[in-house]
């Protein structure tokens, strides 16, 4: 365990709460001290949901520490069951409450006796898994719980739907553009004539999970949430899984072909090649952009990509394969899935970085000096500090990346959105220069901070004055090159003469 001021993935209970609040009429009871209940505020603000977040905190306080929490937890579960009549109540502990080492499974069994709805414990190890892993496991638990329950009642449906159908598994609340992606996937399925059997967990009813085996195949668009549930359905009910993220023109086509194969392998007779060709050549603008002069101007430019596995892999491939942009570093914070990530990106980038240390990411970006960054909100902060534009492609994100307008990242419309993001991220580097010429915000003061919290270099007045003369759009690069030269030469005070010497050294 280490103290950190930034986390790419939250604690395990956040993942469980994301799954619980994605389902319809499911309530979560969080066994936690005050301070761990920020999820309600965070979700209400970011998702702009009109309904209250269905999470209640069973507070661990000094009385609980003295007497135990069984009575309080059971009372909270049964009280909420009587008040709002949820189909399912999920009890989730936190790292702090886990210290009490209480038998929460026994609490659930007691509460079930006096509850009309189902009650279950989110059985995840809060010390060993993070938000994404817990979300994946909790979703699989819920699916298993209701499929086994339906089997015991003899109420499960295993006969296939008349027309080809799909289970879309993975979209959740607080996911990166998940709501927009889901709309685009629904449109794609309509175009292909594929019925949607179930979408889980977003907007799903737990009592309808018994129909999951009726689908012809599962589609898991995200690597982080959904694979465990899909594997359980595939292993127990012989429903094949398509796990190709349809992000970018090439991967969207590959995903559609994988769905075509899954359908035809089960006796279907579909051919989507005409649809792929029409979308690629005439409907989506992404393929056209890749051949345009605008994209040719980006050829060979350097970019750094960092995020979760799904979006970092997809973005790396789009930049390298579809746009000819050189990815000098591709990285992920999903350290638990490092081998898969390395296998997916090793042929499309110069360097691979797997780390959840934001300081290491920032230092790598400063060292490589890319023309643009594609990362999380944290990489956006890093880019601002060293004057490198950044396009946000993955969580964690700020409220500005929960747009009100329609902005999917998946499918053919998603490919168009990615094109805009990439192009604007590179071209907006000229903005400061144009503002300096035509008037705008004050660019006379030079930012002398580095990525590190402390700097071992001092800029003299004449050094700053000389640096101010450099056009804004290249000033950051000149500053970094000068500081690099000063460190190599053991110079502590950077004057105008040092800038000239550094320039000569670079030119040499």
Which residues are catalytic, by number? 294
In which element (H, E) is residue 372 found?
A: strand 372-375
Residue 208 per-residue DSSP state: G
Point out the annotated binding site for substrate.
429-430
Q: How far is CA 401 from CA 7, 159, 392, in A?
A: 18, 41, 8
Other C-beta atoms closer than 10 Å to the C-beta of 208 total: 14
Q: Supply 316's token pair.
A: 């790396």
**Burial grade of 479 (CB within 10 A; 0-12, 13-18, 19 or more):** buried
Please report, in angstroms and rounded to a whole number, the separation of the first and last CA atoms in the chain.
47
Q: Supply 407's token pair.
A: 């902005």
As beta bridge partners, residue 390 has 373
Q: Supply 441's token pair.
A: 């915000």
Rg of the chain over Cα atoms, rounded to whole angstroms, equals 26
β-pairing verdict for 55-59 and 26-32: parallel
In which element (H, E) is residue 107 found?
A: helix 104-113
In which element (H, E) is residue 25 found?
A: none
Q: Classify 482 as helix, strand or coil.
A: helix
β-pairing verdict for 88-93 and 118-121: parallel
C-alpha span between 474 and 480 (Å, rounded): 10
Residue-wise burial string across 79-95, b where 16 or more C-beta atoms lie within 10 A, e elsewhere: ebbeeeebbbbbbbbbe
C-alpha span between 412 and 351 (Å, rounded): 29
Residue reference for tokens 């700020």: 398
Point out the annotated binding site for [4Fe-4S] cluster.
36
Residue 399 per-residue DSSP state: G
Point out the annotated binding site.
36, 429-430
Phi, psi of 264 (to 5 degrees): -70, -30
C-alpha span between 275 and 191 (Å, rounded): 9
Phi, psi of 212 (to 5 degrees): -55, -40
Residue reference for tokens 């499918």: 411
Reduced 3-state DSSP string for 251-314: HHHHHHHHHHHHHHCCCCCCCCHHHHHHHHHHHCCHHHHHHCHHHHCCCCCEEEEEECHHHHHH
């Amino acid at each position: 365990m280490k103290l950190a001021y930034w986390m790419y993935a939250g604690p395990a209970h956040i993942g469980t709460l994301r799954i619980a609040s994605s389902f319809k009429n499911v309530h979560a009871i969080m066994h936690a001290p005050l301070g761990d209940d920020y999820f309600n505020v965070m979700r209400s603000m970011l998702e702009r949901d009109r309904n209250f977040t269905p999470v209640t905190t069973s507070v661990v306080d000094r009385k609980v520490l003295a007497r135990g929490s069984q009575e309080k937890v059971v009372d909270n579960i049964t009280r909420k069951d009587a008040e709002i009549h949820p189909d399912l109540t999920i009890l989730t502990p936190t790292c702090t409450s886990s210290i009490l080492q209480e038998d929460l499974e026994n609490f659930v069994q007691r509460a079930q006796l006096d509850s009309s709805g189902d009650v279950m414990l989110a059985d995840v190890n809060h010390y060993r898994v993070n938000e994404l892993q817990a979300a994946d496991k909790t979703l699989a638990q819920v699916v298993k719980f209701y499929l086994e329950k339906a089997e015991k009642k003899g109420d499960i449906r295993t006969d296939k739907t008349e027309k080809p159908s799909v289970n879309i598994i993975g979209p959740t609340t607080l996911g990166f553009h998940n709501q927009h992606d889901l709309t685009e996937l629904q449109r794609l399925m309509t175009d292909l004539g594929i019925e949607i059997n179930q979408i889980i967990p977003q907007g799903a009813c737990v009592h309808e999970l018994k129909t999951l085996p009726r689908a012809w195949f599962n589609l898991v668009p995200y690597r982080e949430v959904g694979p465990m549930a899909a594997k359980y359905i595939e292993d127990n009910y012989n429903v094949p899984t398509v796990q190709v993220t349809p992000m970018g023109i090439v991967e969207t086509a590959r995903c559609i072909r994988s769905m075509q194969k899954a359908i035809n392998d089960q006796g279907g007779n579909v051919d989507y090649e005409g649809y792929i060709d029409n979308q690629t050549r005439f409907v989506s603008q992404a393929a056209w952009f890749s051949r345009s002069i605008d994209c040719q101007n980006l050829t060979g430019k350097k970019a750094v990509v960092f995020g979760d596995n799904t979006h970092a892999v997809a973005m790396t491939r789009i930049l390298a394969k579809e746009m000819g942009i050189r990815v000098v570093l591709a990285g992920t914070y999903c350290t638990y899935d490092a081998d898969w990530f390395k296998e997916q990106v090793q042929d499309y980038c110069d360097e691979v970085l797997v780390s959840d240390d934001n300081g290491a990411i920032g230092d790598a970006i400063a060292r490589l000096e890319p023309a643009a960054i594609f990362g999380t909100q944290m990489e956006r902060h890093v880019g601002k500090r060293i004057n490198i534009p950044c396009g946000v492609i993955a969580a964690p994100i700020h409220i500005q990346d929960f747009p009100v307008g329609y902005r999917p990242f998946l499918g053919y419309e998603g490919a168009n959105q990615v094109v805009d993001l990439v192009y604007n991220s590179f071209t907006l580097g000229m903005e400061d220069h144009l503002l300096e010429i035509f008037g705008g915000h004050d660019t006379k003061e030079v930012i002398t901070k580095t990525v590190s919290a402390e700097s071992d270099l001092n800029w003299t007045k004449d050094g700053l004055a000389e640096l101010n003369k450099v056009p804004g759009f290249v000033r950051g690069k000149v500053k970094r090159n000068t500081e690099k030269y000063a460190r190599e030469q053991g110079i502590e005070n950077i004057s105008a003469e040092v800038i000239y010497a550094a320039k000569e050294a670079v030119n040499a």
